[in-house]
């Protein structure tokens, strides 16, 4: 049966919407689990450095899984695989309600890191394949709005119901459950990734051959993981109450919702590299300004603007993949993008937590500025202009 252009266009955007919903569900978990884990572990008397190490352990899982995702998607259709991952997520939420043991919660977060990373990479690859070239910036700007809106919902749940209540976990389970029926809708199938002759090391070789393309992933992975896991501890250290931790995530989400789509539109107009330069400047300057104020309104305003801009590293990084890689290589490239993100996740929390423990709260903010410099440096290294095939 053939479809008219309008039918095909409708089916394309329905498919993109389903992929977006998968990323959205995963992002709620990210926004919920980061402060929930940090604050409950802090209540048990663990130091910031120890919490950072536990977050690093949890974040190490995708480092080994991510290069295997193209192979997995070559066996299981993307749509089916996303459905299974959401079911596993719901099971993990249920396990969180058993007790607050640091060992148990670290293992569960380890598993969440696997399912969350899979949901991100599989859904993003599906979107990258379908997004019209002239609309990539806008579509991924909108993707970031949805994604960080989910993080904001997670933070809002913590703020409204407090991190001590399991109600936040029950709501997360319900939201996952709501998405599942939409997988019955007919969609466009994702292409099977081209994996012929590729080894586990192929992903890492691709990263180091294209550092300028993948460095935005490293930056946002480090910034997000360090900030969202350690900002709750930082806010306590400078005298705020625990509701401020949820408010900070909410402010960050508002910044992303307000700024990501305009950054995507700007990318379509002036080019990805120019937008990356603007984002890097904001990423460097605003954390240093944050050191100078403990006023809650100012802190929330700065974090709102900072987060809205630095999330653009992620958006522009995805646009870069679409620019530099052929469709059959997108899943591999996106796995490399996710792996780079995971490498930063592995390094940043323990690095930031240790700096906070020995040098105080301002050390975290300085480390965020340093991470923000890296994509700017990489832009000035020699880069290839042809497509990777």
Distance between CA atoms of residues 23 and 17, nearest Å: 10
Domain ranges of the chain: 5-190+200-379
Stretches in the chain below the pLDDT threshold 50: 1-3, 385-386
What architecture is the 5-190+200-379 domain classified under in CATH? Answer: Up-down Bundle (1.20)
What is residue 86's predicted lDDT score, i.e. its pLDDT? Answer: 93
Of the candidates 144, 62, 113, the residue with the CA atom closest to the CA atom of residue 339: 62
Distances (CA, A) of 10 to 14, 192, 276: 6, 22, 32
What is residue 385's predicted lDDT score, i.e. its pLDDT? Answer: 47
Encode 44-97 in three state secondary structure: CCCCHHHHHHHHHHHHCHHHHHHHHHHHHHHHCCHHHHHHHHHHHHHHHHHHHC
What is residue 78's predicted lDDT score, i.e. its pLDDT? Answer: 86
Q: Considering Cα of 21, then 27, then 31, then 37, what sign does the dihedral take?
A: positive
Q: What are phi and psi of 103, to 5 degrees?
A: -65, -50
């Amino acid at each position: 049966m053939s479809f008219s252009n309008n039918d095909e266009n409708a089916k394309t955007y329905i498919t993109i919407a389903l992929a977006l919903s998968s990323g959205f569900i995963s992002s709620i978990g990210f926004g919920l689990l980061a402060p929930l884990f940090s604050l409950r572990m802090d209540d048990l008397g663990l130091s910031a450095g120890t919490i950072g190490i536990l977050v690093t352990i949890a974040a190490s899982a995708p480092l080994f899984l991510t290069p295997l995702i193209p192979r997995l998607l070559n066996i299981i259709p993307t749509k089916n695989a996303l459905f299974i991952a959401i079911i596993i997520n719901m099971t993990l939420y249920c396990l969180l309600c058993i007790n607050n043991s640091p060992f148990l919660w670290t293992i569960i977060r380890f598993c969440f890191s696997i399912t969350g990373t899979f949901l991100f990479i599989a859904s993003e690859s599906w979107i990258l394949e379908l997004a019209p070239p002239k609309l990539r910036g806008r579509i991924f700007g909108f993707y970031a709005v949805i994604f960080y809106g989910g993080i904001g919902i997670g933070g809002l749940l913590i703020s409204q119901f407090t991190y001590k209540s399991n109600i936040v976990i029950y709501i997360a389970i319900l939201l996952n459950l709501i998405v599942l029926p939409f997988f019955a809708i007919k969609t466009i199938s994702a292409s099977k990734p081209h994996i012929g002759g590729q080894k586990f090391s192929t992903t890492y070789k691709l990263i180091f051959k294209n550092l300028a393309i993948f460095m935005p992933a490293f930056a946002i992975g480090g910034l997000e993981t360090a900030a969202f896991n350690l900002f709750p501890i930082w806010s306590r250290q400078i005298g705020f109450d625990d509701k401020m931790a949820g408010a900070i995530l909410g402010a960050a989400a508002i910044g992303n919702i307000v700024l990501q789509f305009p950054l995507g539109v700007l990318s379509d107009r002036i080019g990805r590299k120019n937008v990356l330069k603007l984002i890097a400047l904001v990423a460097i300057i605003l954390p240093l300004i944050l050191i100078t104020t403990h006023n809650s309104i100012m802190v929330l305003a700065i974090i709102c603007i900072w987060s809205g801009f630095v999330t653009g590293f992620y958006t522009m990084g995805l646009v870069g993949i679409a620019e530099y890689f052929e469709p059959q290589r997108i899943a591999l490239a996106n796995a490399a993008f996710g792996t780079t993100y995971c490498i930063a996740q592995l390094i940043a929390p323990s690095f930031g937590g240790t700096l906070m423990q020995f040098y105080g709260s301002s050390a975290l903010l300085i480390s965020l500025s340093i991470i923000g410099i890296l994509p700017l440096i990489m832009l000035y290294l020699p880069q290839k202009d042809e497509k990777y095939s």
